Chain A
Amino acid sequence: MSDSMAQGQPHPAVARSAAAEAFLSRTPDVIAPGHTFGSVTDKISGIVLTHRTPIGWFMGFAIAFVFLMILNVTIVKLLFTGIGIWGNNIPVGWAFDIINFVWWIGIGHAGTLISAILLLFRQQWRTSINRFAEAMTLFAVACAAMFPLLHTGRPWLAAYWLFPYPNTMNLWPQFRSPLIWDVFAVSTYFTVSLLFWFTGLIPDLATLRDSAESKWAQKIFGVLALGWRGSAQHWQRYETIYLLLAGLSTPLVLSVHTVVSFDFAVSEIPGWHATFFPPYFVAGAIYSGFAMVMTLAVPMRAAFHLEDLITMRHIHNMTKIMLATGMIVAYAYVNEAFYAWYSGNLYEQFMFTNRATGPYGPFYWMLIAINACMIQLFWFRKVRDNVVLLFILSLLVNVGMWLERFVIIVVSLHRDFLPSSWDMYAPTRWDFGMFTGTIGLFLALFFLFVRLLPAISIFEVRTLVPQAKLQAADHH
Chain B
Amino acid sequence: MAHAPETALLHGLMAEFDNPTALVSAADRARLAGYTAMDAYTPYPIEELNDALGLKKNPLPFMVLMGGLLGGLGGYMLEYWTQVVAWPMNIGGRPFHSWPHFIPVTFECTVLGASLTAFLGMLALNGLPKPYHPVFNVPAFDRASRDRFFLCIESTDPKFDRTATESFLKDLHPLGVSEVAA
Give the interface SS of chain A, mostly helix, strand, loop or mixed: helix
Within 8 A of A (CB), among B87-117: 87, 89, 91-92, 94, 98, 101-102, 104-105, 107-109, 111-112, 114-116
B80 to chain A, nearest CB (A): 9
CA distance A234 to B114 in the complex (A): 19
Interface membership of A419, Cβ < 8 A: no
Interface membership of A89, Cβ < 8 A: no
Known: A185-B108, A227-B129, A235-B42. A241 touches B28 (CB 8 A): no
Quick one: closest A residue to B52, CB to CB?
A: A475
Interface membership of A471, Cβ < 8 A: yes
Interface membership of A335, Cβ < 8 A: no
Quick one: closest B residue to A173, CB to CB?
A: B82
Known: A252-B111, A468-B20. A38 touches B25 (CB 8 A): no
**A226-239 to B contact mask, C-beta < 8 Å, 1/0:** 11111111111111
B8 to chain A, nearest CB (A): 21
Chain A residues near B25: list those with CB within 8 A.
474-475
Give the interface SS of chain B, mostly helix, strand, loop or mixed: helix
Within 8 A of B (CB), among A225-278: 226-241, 244-245, 248-249, 251-252, 255, 259, 262
Chain B residues near A36: list those with CB within 8 A.
147
Contact in complex: A2, B145 (CB < 8 Å): no
Contact in complex: A475, B60 (CB < 8 Å): no
Contact in complex: B44, A460 (CB < 8 Å): yes
Number of residues on chain A facing chain B (CB within 8 A): 69
The interface of chain A, by Cβ under 8 A from chain B, is 1-2, 36-38, 41, 164, 170-176, 178, 180-181, 184-185, 188, 191-192, 195-196, 198-199, 203, 206-207, 209-211, 222-223, 226-241, 244-245, 248-249, 251-252, 255, 259, 262, 459-460, 462-463, 467-468, 470-471, 474-475
Contacts A/B (CB < 8 Å), 21 sampled:
A37-B146, A38-B147, A172-B82, A172-B83, A176-B98, A188-B108, A195-B119, A199-B119, A210-B146, A226-B123, A227-B130, A230-B41, A231-B41, A235-B44, A237-B122, A241-B60, A248-B64, A255-B108, A471-B21, A474-B24, A475-B24
The interface of chain B, by Cβ under 8 A from chain A, is 19-22, 24-25, 27-28, 39-50, 52-53, 55, 58, 60-61, 64, 68, 75, 78-79, 82-83, 86-87, 89, 91-92, 94, 98, 101-102, 104-105, 107-109, 111-112, 114-116, 118-119, 121-123, 125-126, 128-133, 135-136, 141-147
